[in-house]
Chain A
């Protein structure tokens, strides 16, 4: 699959039959939609992976056994903070 964000078509004649996307969804960075950002307290984190499991946008990465938020794609839904049994994640307002 292509890493190109957008293929430029000249006109209707060179369009594919129906609206298909051949680019990876990775090119659509959705982090800009966020108003609240999850902040993880690694002192409280027990590395259980529940936040990683629940994130609907695959935006919790596991780096050196600990969760790390991928801010390029995290939309700030807060599910990770809600699900964390150890209250290790808090939602903080994005500065404008």
Chain B
């Protein structure tokens, strides 16, 4: 069935399709519509779930961890300041191995107050042990939520996952979404059956203490291993999803016209759609340009990037966030992935779209033009594009 849904409504329907059994969430702009839509679906009798009203995002995540430990499929959603407030409990979720799925609407962090698109909020959660996916369309949101539950709940993974949508550009943009059939989704996902859970019949305490000589170090190694396993599981889940539903999204790194590309732009989220248009334009002019959309940031697509880099002469990395005292996070990580390759391409960073500044075709043209003239990056490893009062 086809429906017209916003990115927010897509997240709500994704939770419904996945039959999330417990949802604890606190409303925050621009995620509020997810919570409201879920409330609507419950009130209309379309969605049977336990909705837990909480007083903060910290509590929302704490409730989600507990629900997941009991063995319930769990969903939550937040944005920006809310995600930052959750930070402590994000670590609890991953190290408790609770496969919670969360949608985060990428919104700038204050001050100054800004509710517009910026990926600083999720980049700041890089080391919390959550898988991170960045989506480009409403259809991708619905489909990816199902893929995420499949991967997160895999007994060899058992790690939480967050799905990101750019504020307003995706959260409030309505598109036609082909809703997967419930029966098909039920078959695809199955039930969540954790091997260990909070159970009064078989009591054990979770989150206990480990002395330095005991097993803390080994528990962290197991998490590292699970994240490595997740790479393959993401690809498996996407292949199975494609077989059933006929759609796929390119795995960890979504390549667009990269086959013979000399210049490749790497970006995540909604700006990828704009870059696709720019790539098509350049291709018409005979310029060999491609897009590698960073769909998954954790686990990081190192294998895919190295494969891509074999053919390219120049890689431009677009960051919609900035790590003060260094550079954009995607830029740093792409470079480190290619560090020990022979004949690696030039890699240059571009800071764009901070605080919701529109990433227009003109901005992408500026990036492409700069990629074309860059001969080395020694003096200028990265650039702020469109800085008022800056050099153009």
Contacts and interface: CB of A to CB of B under 8 A. Distances in A.
Interface of A: 1, 6, 9, 11-12, 15-22, 25
A15 B215 contact: yes
Contacts of B97: 17-18
Interface string B179-207: 00000000000000001100000011111
Secondary structure of the A side of the interface? loop
A22 to B, nearest CB: 5
Contacts of B203: 1
The 3 closest A-B pairs by CB, nearest first: A12-B218, A21-B208, A18-B97
Contacts of B208: 19-21
13 contacts: A6-B214, A12-B222, A15-B222, A16-B196, A17-B195, A18-B95, A18-B207, A18-B219, A19-B95, A20-B196, A20-B208, A21-B208, A25-B205
A8 to B, nearest CB: 10
A19 B219 contact: yes
B195 A9 contact: no
Given A17-B196, A18-B196, A18-B206, 4 more contacts: A19-B95, A19-B208, A20-B205, A21-B204
Contacts of A15: 215, 218-219, 222
Contacts of A19: 95, 206-208, 210, 215-216, 219
Contacts of A22: 204
Contacts of B158: 17
Interface residues on B, range: 20 to 34
A1 B196 CA distance: 15
A86 B204 CA distance: 40
A19 B205 CA distance: 9
A21 B218 CA distance: 15
Nearest to A6: B214
Nearest to B223: A18
Nearest to B220: A12
Contacts of B214: 6
B204 A20 contact: yes
Nearest to B206: A20
B204 A18 contact: no
A11 B218 contact: yes
B157 to A, nearest CB: 11
B96 interface: yes
A21 B207 CA distance: 8
Contacts of B215: 9, 12, 15, 19
A16 B97 CA distance: 11
A18 B218 contact: no
